[in-house]
Amino acid sequence: MKLHHSLATLVGTTLFALSAQAEVMGQAHTYSVDGMEFEGYVAHNSNLDESLGTVLIIHDWDGVTDYEKRRAEMLAAQGYTAFAIDVYGAGRNPTSMEENQQRSGEMYADRAEFQKRLQGALAEAEWIPGATDDIVVIGYCFGGAGVLELARTGAETEGFVSFHGGLNLPDGQNYSQVAAPVMVQHGSADPVSGMADVAALLDNLQAAGIEHSAQIHGGARHSFTVFGSGDYDLNADRASWEALQDFLAARLD
């Protein structure tokens, strides 16, 4: 799901305009997990003496693309250090729909490996210049599913936010170890994970005693935040972004 540059420019200069005081710096960040090399992307605001906090971004099923980099830069403009992590490995970004399915399928088929890569990236955040100990994890689509996957491992962060993510609970997993609040941003017309999946997730979080919240965007379909996609919904994108800012302010600032 690639960034549509004309729409992204419009959104960037209106709804998500960068502060005149912000000088956003972004660059690739290479790291390793268990001997395997990964390449993510880090963005920060060089005009700030201190970051407001760190936001870890888990990518969609097509890997780290301009979309994740754009979101990282938007967060940097708000004063956060953003780290778009790589789940697939350096040089393994998909280049077709078939490879999207293959790469994401590999992670769903091997949950232990998926979790190891997510946990390794979370640990890597400690070594990023300007990053803080306080971290919120967010993700879109496949990345939204990754957010919940990481949360279920008991990873200690300040919070987890899933945007139009896959919400199914894998066999053998539960939410008993979740260590921070969970927020869900979801469309009511999402054909991938419908309202029954949302209800089941919230029931599970409630039963486990986990602080949680959900914002349902009426009529929004899957990928409603992805610029240029057929599902893009400006109102839902704007509302979910504002909700994220409130969540970050409460958990990090």
Domains of the chain, earliest start first:
5-14+24-251 (3.40.50.1820)
Percent over 90 (pLDDT), the chain = 88
Q: Would you put residue 244 in left (φ > 0), alpha (ψ -120 to 50) or beta? A: alpha
pLDDT digits (tens, 9 = 90+) for 145-159: 999 999 999 999 999
Tokens 């209106």 found at: 14
- Count of CB atoms within 10 A of residue 207's CB? 11
pLDDT at 3: 43
Token digits for 206? 């409630």
* Longest distance between any two alpha carbons in the chain, whole Å: 49
Contact between 145 and 123 (Cβ < 8 Å): no
Band of the pLDDT at 21, cuts 50, 70, 90?
low
Contact between 149 and 111 (Cβ < 8 Å): yes
Q: What is the pTM of this model?
A: 0.91
Beta strands in the chain (DSSP E): 24-33, 36-45, 54-58, 81-85, 135-140, 159-163, 182-187, 212-217
pLDDT at 13: 41
- Count of CB atoms within 10 A of residue 52's CB? 18
